[in-house]
Structure 1
Amino acid sequence: MRRAGCQEVTVNSGKRSSTNPENEPSHSNIKRPKRAEVNFLPNFAQGKDPSSLEQLRQTIVEEVKKTEKNLPLIRKMMETTFPLRRQTIVMSSPPVNELMDLWPALKIESELYAEFQRITNQNLPNTFYAELDRHLPRLMTLFRQKASKTGKTADALAEILKIHDEQEIHDIHTKRTTVLHCLPVYLREDVSGFFRTCTDESEPELQSVAVGLLTVISDHATFESPVHYDPVRITVILESAAMVGLPRLGDAFLVMFGMIYALHLSYPKALTNTFEFIQKILLGLDGGKLSPRLQTLKNDLM
């Protein structure tokens, strides 16, 4: 396959050998799919090369700058330039800000979902919301059962559920917000560095945030509350930089998850189980390998 020019194989060639003793060890810095990516590093289409695709990339950048964007044209050009984009992301791994300058269309929600589908052959929003909504009643039951007990986890869940119960509106968005806040707490993960809050008038401190969600609230909202159901916006943070702002937590969580796949980023260490729950249980991507904690939750759900 290497001789045939398969990119996924040739990307790991040139390691240390008897003829090249100064190269890096064969087992180090291996570039391979980590999360069931189907199209991890595709080859260039016949008749296409980096030079021609680079011209298309520059056209995309100019098109995204326009007030009236031609979204079908952007979609077509992003599809064509997908191999060039994956080559840059996988082989060079530049900083997120640099990648977003190169490929600003990934900040468009519909285009980000299209990119996720190119990588995994799966419709991210449809699958995520269908599976999350299917499990909402059982998840709420599990969270309430845990909240009725004693301990730090129970107290944290009880506080979130108390605020949930006090809401005047209990629509699907309220339930999704509650479940997404409760899930990492239930899995005994530290959310302090992931869920950030600031007011609309203040400047948030984001220097140490690799991956996170910043909830921007109005000045009259309760700052110390662990969950906010009517925020000004929720901003996706990657490598200490604000990417996009969305009105609801579910949409922001989804965009952030799609960006992690699109940019080949690692999950935040403190919330590994939460992200793997979304990947393996909700989306069914590489779902056969679960940690004991996730396997227990899956058994309880089923």
Structure 2
Amino acid sequence: MDKTFSYRRYEVVRDAPLVQDFKERWPGLFDVYEINAEFKRLTTIPLQSRFLSQLDIFSNKLLALFKKRGGQIGKKLQELMKSMTDEYSDEAVDAGRECILKALCVYLNEDPDILIKEHVGNNEADFEDYTENTTVGIFTAKQHAAQSKPDDIGIILEGQIVIQELDNVPLAYALLFGLLYALNMDYPPQQRYFFEVVQKVIMELDGGTLSRKAQVLKNRLLE
């Protein structure tokens, strides 16, 4: 994949291919290792480790900001925070990161449920309909709502499941960002501030110019 990197970049920039066509030409790109590798080829920055470590660094300040927020957004944030625990198991850490990422969407006045969808049961028609009508999204699938861990976690781009069987939701967020960046895709308008903050504040990429909302958040995190 290292040797063919320049060909992929030329194709992405010149042709802006559909995700389905690009995946058929470069199927090896769509796994956890290669998404991380492609992102590092592009930016020299490790994707997964940087995303998670930076999220952990900012987590206490983000939680403090969430607690201070009032109004309807504050109420939504408090509901999300209720699920967090002080446990240090891998599962609890992943659940806490997932909660913070969803809360970040809410704090920015965006709806996390548009970006990530939980499917419960075996209604394949409903799942196929969701997949076909999703441009950018993360899905989790469970047999029963009471399950603590999903049976499957994956990413959808342009109506196609491009990767699945991921270990946890925070990893899915990191890989989704990496794919959007590598494929030169526009961020979904409903989560444009969320992805701007991920890119320019959390990952510290191209952070010279920020929207007012992202700049205010960055200033508060750096106080």
Normalising by the residue count of structure 1, what TM-score does the alignment of the two structures yield? 0.67
Structure-to-structure mapping, 1:1-302, within 5 angstroms: 78-146=1-69, 149-151=70-72, 153-165=73-85, 171-203=92-124, 204=127, 205-221=130-146, 230-245=149-164, 246-302=166-222
The C-alpha deviation readout for 1:72-131, integer Å capped at 9, x for no partner, is xxxxxx111111111221111221011011101111211111111111121112221221
The 2-side partners of 1:119 and 1:138 are apart by 30
Higher helix share: 2
Partner of residue 61, structure 1: none
Contact 2:85 2:96 in 1 (8 A): no
The 1-side partners of 2:85 and 2:54 are apart by 23
Letter in structure 1 aligned against 2:22: L
Aligned-pair CA distance for 1:301: 0.9
Query: Quick one: structure 1 residues 248 and 283, their matched pair in 2 at CA, closer, same or farther if it must change by over 3 Å?
Result: same
Classify the secondary structure of the residue corresponding to 1:94.
coil
Letter in structure 2 aligned against 1:176: R
Letter in structure 1 aligned against 2:174: L
Paired residues, what number? 216
Contact 1:231 1:247 in 2 (8 A): no
Larger RCO, structure (CA 8 Å, separation 6 or more): 2
Letter in structure 2 aligned against 1:96: V
The 2-side partners of 1:237 and 1:122 are apart by 24
The 2-side partners of 1:253 and 1:98 are apart by 23
Contact 2:48 2:175 in 1 (8 A): no
Aligned-pair CA distance for 1:272: 0.8
For the aligned residue pairs, the C-alpha RMSD in angstroms reads 2.0
Query: Quick one: structure 1 residues 220 and 112, their matched pair in 2 at CA, closer, same or farther if it must change by over 3 Å?
Result: closer
Higher Rg of the two aligned structures: 1
Letter in structure 1 aligned against 2:53: A
Letter in structure 2 aligned against 1:187: L
Contact 1:139 1:301 in 2 (8 A): yes
Segments of 4+ in structure 1 off by > 3 A? 165-171
Stretches of structure 2 that go unaligned for 5 or more consecutive residues are none
Letter in structure 1 aligned against 2:163: V
Q: Percent identity?
A: 32
Aligned-pair CA distance for 1:293: 0.9
The C-alpha deviation readout for 1:176-222, integer Å capped at 9, x for no partner, is 11111101100001334222121252221223211011121232438
Query: Quick one: structure 1 residues 301 and 89, their matched pair in 2 at CA, closer, same or farther if it must change by over 3 Å?
Result: same
Partner of residue 56, structure 1: none
Normalising by the residue count of structure 2, what TM-score does the alignment of the two structures yield? 0.89
Stretches of structure 1 that go unaligned for 5 or more consecutive residues are 1-77, 223-228
